[in-house]
Amino acid sequence: MDVSSSSSLFSPSSLLSSSSLDTNLFAVEPHEVAFTQGSLKLGADVSVGLGNGLKRVFEYLQDELADRKVALKISDDTEHIISIGIDADVVPENEGYILNITEKGISIVAHDEQGAFWAVVTLLEVVDSSSKIAGSRIKLPCLTVHDWPDYSVRGFLLDVSRDKVPSMETLYRLVDRLAKYKINQFQLYFEHVFAYRKHKAVWKNASPFLPEEIQALDLYCKRKNIELVANQNSLAHMHRWIMHKGYKELAETPSTVSKKNLERENYEHEGNPGYSLCPTNPGTLELIEGLYKELLPNFTCHTINVGLDEPNDLVRGGEKSRALIRKKGISEVYFDYLQNIYKLVKSFGNDRVMQFWADFIITEDELIRQLPKDVVPLLWGYEDEFPFEMGRKFYENGIRWFVCPSTCSWSSIGGRADDAIKNLSQAALKGKENGAAGYLITEWGDNGHHHPLSVSQLGLYLGARFSWNTRSAKKFSSDSLPLLLDNHVFHDKNHKMGQISLKVGDVYKQVLKPNSTLTCCSALLRILVFNNDLPDREVLESLSKEGLQKAIETLSESKKHLQEAALDGWEGGLVLQEYHWVIDALSFAAKFGIVLLENPAIKSVNDLKKSDRKELLKELIPVLDLYKTTWALRNRKGGFEDSFRRLDHLRTLLK
Q: Distance of CA 406 to CAs 167, 417, 443, 516, 550, Å?
A: 22, 11, 6, 21, 27
From the candidates 64, 310, 364, 578, give the one annotated as an active-site residue. 310
CB 118 within 8 A of CB 154: no
Positive/negative CA dihedral, 225, 231, 237, 242? positive
pLDDT digits over 119-150, tens only? Answer: 999 999 999 998 876 666 899 999 999 999 99
70 compared with 20, residue with greater pLDDT: 70
Phi, psi at 565, each rounded to 5° = -70, 145
For residue 534, the number of C-alpha atoms closer than 13 Å in the C-beta half-sphere is 19
Per-residue 3-state assignment (H helix, E strand, C coil) for 185-235: EEEEECCCCECCCCCHHHHCCCCCECHHHHHHHHHHHHHCCCEEEEECCCC
Q: Is the pLDDT of residue 10 over 60?
A: no
Eight-class DSSP state of 567: B
d(CA 96, CA 112): 7
Q: Is the pLDDT of residue 652 over 70?
A: yes
- Global pTM reads 0.96
Query: Residue 275's pLDDT is what?
Result: 87
Query: Residue 579's pLDDT is what?
Result: 98
329: left (phi over 0), alpha (psi -120 to 50) or beta: left
The amino acid that residue 125 corresponds to is: E
- Which helix (DSSP H) or strand (DSSP E) does residue 460 occupy? helix 453-468
Eight-class DSSP state of 607: G
Q: Distance of CA 625 to CAs 37, 306, 432, 552, 606, Å?
A: 56, 37, 46, 21, 22
- Report long-range pairs for 281-290 (Cβ below 8 Å, ≥24 apart): 281/249, 281/250, 281/320, 283/249, 283/250, 284/250, 285/340, 285/341, 285/344, 287/247, 287/250, 288/232, 288/234, 288/341, 288/344, 289/344, 289/347, 290/196, 290/198
For residue 415, the number of C-alpha atoms closer than 13 Å in the C-beta half-sphere is 26
d(CA 314, CA 236): 10
What percentage of residues in the chain have a pLDDT greater than 90? Answer: 89
Asked whether the domain spanning 153-476 has the same topology as the one spanning 3-147, the reply is no
pLDDT digits over 408-443, tens only? Answer: 999 999 999 999 999 999 999 999 999 999 999 999
Query: Residue 585's pLDDT is what?
Result: 98
Concerning whether 641 is annotated as a catalytic residue, the answer is no
d(CA 313, CA 317): 7
Q: Is the pLDDT of residue 291 over 50?
A: yes
Q: Is the pLDDT of residue 496 over 60?
A: yes
CB 319 within 8 A of CB 274: no
Q: How many other C-beta atoms lie within 10 A of the C-beta of residue 604?
A: 10
Q: How confident is the model at residue 269 (pLDDT cuts 50, 70, 90)?
A: low
Q: How many other C-beta atoms lie within 10 A of the C-beta of residue 545?
A: 14
Q: Is the bond leading into 218 cis (omega within 30 degrees of zero)?
A: no
Query: Burial of 113 by CB count in 10 Å (0-12 exposed, 13-18 middle, 19+ buried)?
Result: middle
Q: How confident is the model at residue 77 (pLDDT cuts 50, 70, 90)?
A: confident
- Mean pLDDT, residues 549-558: 98
Rounded-to-10 torsion of CA 461, 466, 469, 471: 130
State the distance between the two ends of the chain, measured CA to CA, in whole angstroms. Answer: 75
CB 143 within 8 A of CB 101: yes
- Mean pLDDT, residues 586-599: 98
Query: Residue 8's pLDDT is what?
Result: 33
- Mean pLDDT, residues 293-319: 97
Q: Is the pLDDT of residue 104 over 90?
A: yes
Query: Residue 258's pLDDT is what?
Result: 77
d(CA 553, CA 593): 14
Comparing C-alpha atoms, which of 359, 207, 343 is closest to residue 288? Answer: 343
Eight-class DSSP state of 251: B
d(CA 166, CA 273): 29
Phi, psi at 101, each rounded to 5° = -115, 120
pLDDT digits over 593-640, tens only? Answer: 999 999 999 999 999 999 999 999 999 999 999 999 999 999 999 999
d(CA 26, CA 465): 10
Q: Provide the β-strand partners of residue 538.
A: none
CB 490 within 8 A of CB 575: yes
Positive/negative CA dihedral, 300, 30, 475, 493? negative
Query: Residue 270's pLDDT is what?
Result: 64
Query: Residue 78's pLDDT is what?
Result: 67
CATH numeric code, 153-476: 3.20.20.80
- Sequential DSSP letters for 90-108: T--STT-EEEEE-SS-EEE
d(CA 96, CA 14): 16
Query: Residue 570's pLDDT is what?
Result: 87
CB 449 within 8 A of CB 193: no
Q: What's the mean pLDDT when you consider all of the chain?
A: 93
CB 105 within 8 A of CB 82: yes
Query: Residue 384's pLDDT is what?
Result: 85
Q: How confident is the model at residue 273 (pLDDT cuts 50, 70, 90)?
A: confident
Query: Residue 202's pLDDT is what?
Result: 97
pLDDT digits over 311-356, tens only? Answer: 999 999 999 999 999 999 999 999 999 999 999 999 999 999 999 9
- Mean pLDDT, residues 510-521: 94
pLDDT digits over 153-170, tens only? Answer: 999 999 999 999 999 999
Reduced to 3 states, what is the DSSP secondary structure of residue 361? helix
d(CA 109, CA 252): 55
CATH numeric code, 3-147: 3.30.379.10
Residue spans of the domains in the chain: they are: 3-147, 153-476, 497-654
Query: Residue 262's pLDDT is what?
Result: 64
Q: Is the pLDDT of residue 31 over 70?
A: yes
